[in-house]
Each structure stands twice: as C-alpha cells, then as structure tokens.
Amino acid sequence: MLVVRAIREQDFDGLMALAEKVGSGMTTLKPDRKALGQRLEIACASFAEQIAPPQRDYVFVMEDTAIGKVVGVCAIKSAVGLDEPFYNYRIGTLVHSSKELKVFSRMDTLYLSNDLTGCAELCSLFLHPDYRHGTNGKLLSKSRFMFIAQFPHLFSEKLIAEMRGFQRADGRSPFWDSLGRHFFQMEFDRADDLTALGKKSFIAELMPRHPLYVAYLPQEAQEVIGRVHVDTAPARRLLEQEGMYFEGYVDIFDAGPVLQARVSELRALRDSDLAIVDTGLTLEREDHPALVATTRMQDFRVITSETHPHRSRIALTVEQQQLLACRTGDAVRAMPLIPKKSPHA
C-alpha cells in the first residue's frame, strides 16, 4: 500500500537513493548528501512549525508500506527567491509599427525577471520508475494540493511550479544551445548544478541584461519556449487539472514553462471537504478514487481510496486508517482524485 506522508529524519537514505535516479534538468533534487541533509532538516523543522512560514520547505515522501521503502518524493517551498534571486524569463510583446510604411510587427521578447519572488513553489517531484503506473503519480503530485487546502493560511497568494524544459533525444536543450551557452560559456548541466547549489550570482554576472527578441533565436529554439520535457508532459497535465496554468513565464536555461495559480482558486480549495472517518458505513464506490488526507500538520498523510464522503462521513477500512494513522471519529479531508467533468465541457 502506498501513502504520501511528511518526511522524517529516518528517510534520508531513501531520499538519497531516489535523488540518484533523477537526471539533469531538475534543479531542486540533486544527489548531494550535504544539500539533501540540510533540506531534510529544514523540512522536519517546517512540519514541526519551528521556523517561520516563509522559510518552510515541506517535503513529502511516498512510502510503499509493504516493503517500507521510499518510492517517491515531492515538495512545496513556502516562498522562493527570498534568500537568493529567483529568475525567470517573462515573455513580453513589443509592437514595431510604422504607418508610413504600413508595417506592423508584433515581436515576442524575453525579459529577465524576478517577478515570481515570494510565491510558493511546487517542486522536486520524482516517482521511482517501477511505480509509474495507475494512480500513483496523481497521488504523489496532488497530495500537495490537499496539504495546501488544509493549511491555506500558510501560503502566499500565488503558487507556481517550474516544469522541466524540452530536450532533444540526445539530452541537449535547443534553447540553452542557442542562448545561454553564448553567455555562460559552459554546458547546461553545469549551469543547472550551480543553480542547485545556490551559487546563483553567476546568473547576475553572466546573463544578458537586456530584453531579447525571440525572433533572433533559431527556429528550433523559438519552438521550445514554454514546452515541457517529454517525460514531464503528464505532470503538467496533472497540475493543469488542479487549476494551474501557463502565464508566460519560462525557465532561463531551458525555457520550460512555469505554471501558476492563485492559491484561493485551486480546485482543492473548492472541491475538497472535511469528513468524519467511519467504519460502519457501506462503501460509497465511484468510478474514480478519492484523495484522503489527514488534518494534522505533523505527520501529514495522504492516500487514495475507492470510497468518497457521503453526508460528511467517509468509510475507510482498518488498513486505510492505519495508513493514515487515524481512527474512527477523526476528521479527514477528501477530494475526487480526478476533477469531475464539467457538464459544459
């Protein structure tokens, strides 16, 4: 059985083993013992509410309880860019027009920005390849929305998620090769590693200071702006189901899209409800499972369940109650795993 739960100090080795399986392009999850150790410490202090909300970094792991192994990870950073600058390109528009020549050129531009400073960020999502089936990916990614729905007051107005950008089959980023390489004089992976290590001053030093006209880039690079890595496409769809969307911000290295949402407009804040755990009910089965989460911050847990709440009560088996570490009579938060189709759609 799978449960997503708040990370604990004992999870370090499991986390490290997972990080070793992540390839390049994922800045926030690198197999670096020191960095991961620090992160784990901050995460534990976050769930224990020992540090101020903007400094918190909520890291969750997915555990296969049958074998006691960490098989997935995901996180929510309370606020990005408060310690070191958080960079993105904003896609802007400049119109060049001459009535005299009857020319009207609408040009896309890339502006280096720190606009997303202070936003909460969904990051570090990684599921072990052996577990990439069924509803596992959805459970892992969406568990975070259940957390936000339970504790919305802890988050700033806006939530973002940086998606890994497009790479060719040979692993090269056409955007980097056409743009960043000229300014940074290094390979993509090195720039990515430096960012992961928090050594971001090189960005301010080496990044083009002026806005760029997209039209100057080779066609191949233009086409990948805002496009995700093939492996990331499903993750993007999941986030879009939850109310996040692309609003014209992209990564400065690989031009992967940044998805955004107002916290108050997330599906989880609208569609999730509290319910009382009850074993005595007949099970209300539906086609799709529900996400069921506990309501405590310490040891926060999420599972999927075939049952849905009915009249503010939800039937959970004893096994499920064990996964959630809750008992009959406790309050849990539940939401359909997949949004119900709008009748107008």
Partner 1 sequence: MFVVRPVAATDIPALEAMSSVTTPGVHTLPRSRATIERAVERSIASFKAQPDMPTEEAYFFVLESDGVVAGTAAISATAGSSGTFFAFRNDVLSQVSRDLNISHNVHALTLCSDLTSHSQLSSFYLNNRSGMGDGAALLSRARLLFAAVAPHRFSDKFFASMSGITDANGRSPFWEALGRKFFQMDFLEAERMIEGARNRTLIVELMPHYPVYVPLLPGEAQAAMGQVHDEGELPFGILSDEGFEPDEYIDIFDGGPILRAHKNALRSFSQSMRRTVAACAEDDTERTAFLVAVAREDGFRAVLTQCPPPELSETLGLDDDAMRALDVTAGDAVLCVKL
Window of 132-140, 202-210, 252-260, 312-320 that interacts with partner 1 by CB under 8 A: 202-210
Among residues 84 and 273, whose Cβ is nearest to partner 1? 84
Distance CA 285, CA 307 (A): 5
The length of the chain is 345
∠ CA 159-160-164, nearest 5°, is 160
106 binds partner 1 (CB under 8 A): no
Distance CA 6, CA 56 (A): 13
Q: Which of 55, 65, 109, 117 binds partner 1 (CB under 8 A)?
A: 109
211 binds partner 1 (CB under 8 A): yes
Window of 9-17, 120-128, 204-212, 281-289 that interacts with partner 1 by CB under 8 A: 204-212
7 binds partner 1 (CB under 8 A): no
Among residues 66 and 103, whose Cβ is nearest to partner 1? 103
98 binds partner 1 (CB under 8 A): yes
Among residues 248 and 336, whose Cβ is nearest to partner 1? 248
**How far apart are CB 208 and partner 1 at their closest, in Å?**
6
The 3-class SS string of the chain reads: CEEEEECCHHHHHHHHHHHCCCCCCCCCCCCCHHHHHHHHHHHHHHHCCCCCHHHCEEEEEEEECCCCEEEEEEEEECCCCCCCCCCEEEEEEEEEEECCCCEEEEEEEEEEECCCCCCEEEEEEEECHHHCCCCHHHHHHHHHHHHHHHCHHHCCCEEEEECCECCCCCCCCHHHHHHHHHHHCCCHHHHHHHHHCCCCHHHHHHCCCCCEEHHHCCHHHHHCCCCECHHHHHHHHHHHHCCCEEEEEECCCCCCEEEEEEHHHCHHHHHCEEEEEECCCCCCEEEEEEEEECCCCCCCEEEEEEECCECCEEECCHHHHHHHCCCCCCEEEEEECCCCCCCCC
Q: Which of 208, 237, 327, 340 binds partner 1 (CB under 8 A)?
A: 208
Distance CA 274, CA 90 (A): 38
327 binds partner 1 (CB under 8 A): no
Interface residues for partner 1 in 166-185 (CB under 8 A)?
178-179, 182-185
**How far apart are CB 251 and partner 1 at their closest, in Å?**
18
Given 153, 229, 310, 344, the catalytic residue: 229
Backbone angles phi and psi of 166, in degrees to 5: -65, 135
Q: Which of 33, 38, 52, 97 binds partner 1 (CB under 8 A)?
A: 97
Q: Which of 67, 101, 169, 345 binds partner 1 (CB under 8 A)?
A: 101
Among residues 207 and 281, whose Cβ is nearest to partner 1? 207
Among residues 112 and 315, whose Cβ is nearest to partner 1? 112
Tell me which residue has tokens 């939530």: 159
**Residue count at the site for partner 1 (CB under 8 A)?**
33
Among residues 156 and 222, whose Cβ is nearest to partner 1? 222
Among residues 216 and 245, whose Cβ is nearest to partner 1? 216
**How far apart are CB 205 and partner 1 at their closest, in Å?**
4
Window of 166-174, 196-204, 260-268, 324-332 that interacts with partner 1 by CB under 8 A: 196-204
210 binds partner 1 (CB under 8 A): yes
Q: Which of 186, 196, 281, 331 binds partner 1 (CB under 8 A)?
A: 186
Our answer to whether residue 229 is catalytic in this structure is: yes
Contacts with partner 1 by CB under 8 A lie at 94, 96-98, 100-101, 103, 105, 107, 109, 178-179, 182-186, 194, 199, 201-202, 205-206, 208-213, 215-218
